């Protein structure tokens, strides 16, 4: 996907980029490739692949929720900033928190944030379950792209979502059946409202957005210690 095709496909999603945003994404790409020479941020480095599999893929979250109407968003396990930093660039109204347990990724993200002159975006070096205990019920939207299994991810992420907010994991494959997923999110006071499934343009790989609404505050016992989550996953 060329940058021009990227802009066109975003138009099909109802997203119109400014020149500043186009320039910021290009600078982000350049920094990603440069830093990737010294640290393992991503295995995807060609410009067409980054624009399709990282930038466009991140912005498909708009298929599940209108981000221009949201205020706060948290990206769990953000890695090199996907989807959270891309969402911040394209939806500057969002106050975004990027969470990752690997400090070298956070240092990279802070460099990008500074270089692009972005405001209202924080990059936090902390384990996700520890972050969740400190920031309960704070976010309109919590998302995560291709990180961990849905049971673990739900237990860590749903406590962060405010009442009537949304947890929307982005998944290529659904490793849980719907009945099990419903059982898990119910324990956390969430409800699966919708699964938005689609193919990425050009390569036609499947993507799924799970739109899970927070009905009420999550019991304070969640999230458990990481060792307990791994030992006995919710089901």
Q: What digits encode the pLDDT tens for the residues 117-164? A: 999 999 999 999 999 999 999 999 999 996 778 999 999 999 999 999
**Where do the structural domains in the chain lie, given as residue ranges?**
3-218
Mean of the per-residue pLDDT values for the chain? 94
Concatenating the DSSP letter of every residue in 114-163 gives HHHT--SEEEEES-HHHHHHHSTT-EEEEEEES-S-HHHHHHHHGGGEEE
Looking at residue 182, its pLDDT comes to 93
Looking at residue 194, its pLDDT comes to 94
What confidence tier does 202 reach under pLDDT thresholds 50, 70, 90? confident
Looking at residue 101, its pLDDT comes to 93
Looking at residue 78, its pLDDT comes to 95
d(CA 220, CA 209): 27
Q: What digits encode the pLDDT tens for the residues 42-77? A: 888 999 999 999 999 999 999 999 999 999 999 999
Residue 40 confidence (pLDDT) above 90: no
What confidence tier does 23 reach under pLDDT thresholds 50, 70, 90? very high
| CATH C-level class of 3-218 | alpha beta
Looking at residue 216, its pLDDT comes to 96
Q: What digits encode the pLDDT tens for the residues 72-103? A: 999 999 999 999 999 999 999 999 999 999 99
Looking at residue 90, its pLDDT comes to 98
Phi and psi at residue 9, to the nearest 5°: -65, -35
What confidence tier does 175 reach under pLDDT thresholds 50, 70, 90? confident
What confidence tier does 165 reach under pLDDT thresholds 50, 70, 90? very high
d(CA 18, CA 209): 26
pTM: 0.94
d(CA 36, CA 33): 5
Residue 166 confidence (pLDDT) above 90: yes
- Is the Cβ–Cβ distance between 153 and 144 less than 8 Å? yes
Share of the chain above pLDDT 70, in %: 99
């Amino acid at each position: 996907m060329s940058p021009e095709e990227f802009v066109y496909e975003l138009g099909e999603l109802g997203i119109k980029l400014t020149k500043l945003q186009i320039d910021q994404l290009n600078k982000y790409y350049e920094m990603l490739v440069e830093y990737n020479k010294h640290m393992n941020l991503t295995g995807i480095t060609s410009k067409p692949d980054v624009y399709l599999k990282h930038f466009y893929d991140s912005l498909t979250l708009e298929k599940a929720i209108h981000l221009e109407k949201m205020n706060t968003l948290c990206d769990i396990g953000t890695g090199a900033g996907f989807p959270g930093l891309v969402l911040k660039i394209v939806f500057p109204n969002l106050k975004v928190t990027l969470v990752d347990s690997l400090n070298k990724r956070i240092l990279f993200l802070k460099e990008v944030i500074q270089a692009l002159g972005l405001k209202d975006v924080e990059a936090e070096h902390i384990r996700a379950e520890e972050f969740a205990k400190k920031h309960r019920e704070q976010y309109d939207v919590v998302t995560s792209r291709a990180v961990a299994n849905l049971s673990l991810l739900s237990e860590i992420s749903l406590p962060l979502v405010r009442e009537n907010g949304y947890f929307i994991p982005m998944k290529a494959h659904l490793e849980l059946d719907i009945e099990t997923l419903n059982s898990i999110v119910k324990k956390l006071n969430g409800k699966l409202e919708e699964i938005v499934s689609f193919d990425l343009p050009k390569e036609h790989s499947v993507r799924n957005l799970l739109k899970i609404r927070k009905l009420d505050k999550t019991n304070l016992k969640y999230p458990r210690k990481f060792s307990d989550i791994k030992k006995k996953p919710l089901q």
